[in-house]
Amino acid sequence: MRLKGGEKIKSYHLHFYFWFWRYLMKKKIIAFGASNSRNSINQKLAGYAAGLMEGAEITILDLNDFEMPIYSTDREHKNGIPKEARHFKKLIKETDGIIISFAEHNGSYTAAFKNILDWASRVEKDMWQNKPMFLMAASPGKRGAKGVLNLAVNSISFRGGNVISSFSLPFFKQNFSETMGITDAELNRLFLSGLNQFKNFMEVGSDTISAVS
Residues lying near ligand FMN in the complex (CB under 6 A) = 33, 35, 37, 40-42, 103-107, 139-141, 143, 145
Helices H, strands E: what count in the chain?
Answer: 8, 7
- In 3D space, the residue among 139, 61, 55 whose CA is nearest the CA of residue 98 turns out to be 61
Measured CA distances, 159 to 60, 116, 163, 193 (Å): 23, 15, 11, 25
Rounded to the nearest whole angstrom, what is the least distance from the CB of residue 163 to ligand FMN in the complex?
A: 20
Strands 181-182 and 28-34: unpaired
Q: Between 37 and 157, whose beta carbon lies closer to ligand FMN?
A: 37
Q: Between 69 and 140, whose beta carbon lies closer to ligand FMN?
A: 140
Q: Between 42 and 165, whose beta carbon lies closer to ligand FMN?
A: 42
Rounded to the nearest whole angstrom, what is the least distance from the CB of residue 172 to ligand FMN in the complex?
A: 7
Rounded to the nearest whole angstrom, what is the least distance from the CB of residue 45 to ligand FMN in the complex?
A: 8
Q: Between 29 and 145, whose beta carbon lies closer to ligand FMN?
A: 145
Rounded to the nearest whole angstrom, what is the least distance from the CB of residue 144 to ligand FMN in the complex?
A: 8
Rounded to the nearest whole angstrom, what is the least distance from the CB of residue 152 to ligand FMN in the complex?
A: 13
Q: Which helix H or strand E contains 43, and what residues bound it?
A: helix 41-51
The contacts found for 122-129 with CB under 8 angstroms, 24 or more apart, are 122/71, 122/76, 122/81, 122/85, 123/81, 123/85, 123/86, 123/89, 124/89, 126/160, 127/92, 127/159, 127/160, 127/161, 128/92, 128/98, 128/156, 128/159, 128/160, 128/161, 128/162, 129/92, 129/93, 129/160
Q: Give the C-alpha separation, 139 to 144, whole Å.
A: 5
Q: Between 61 and 204, whose beta carbon lies closer to ligand FMN?
A: 61
Q: Between 31 and 104, whose beta carbon lies closer to ligand FMN?
A: 104
Rounded to the nearest whole angstrom, what is the least distance from the CB of residue 210 to ligand FMN in the complex?
A: 40
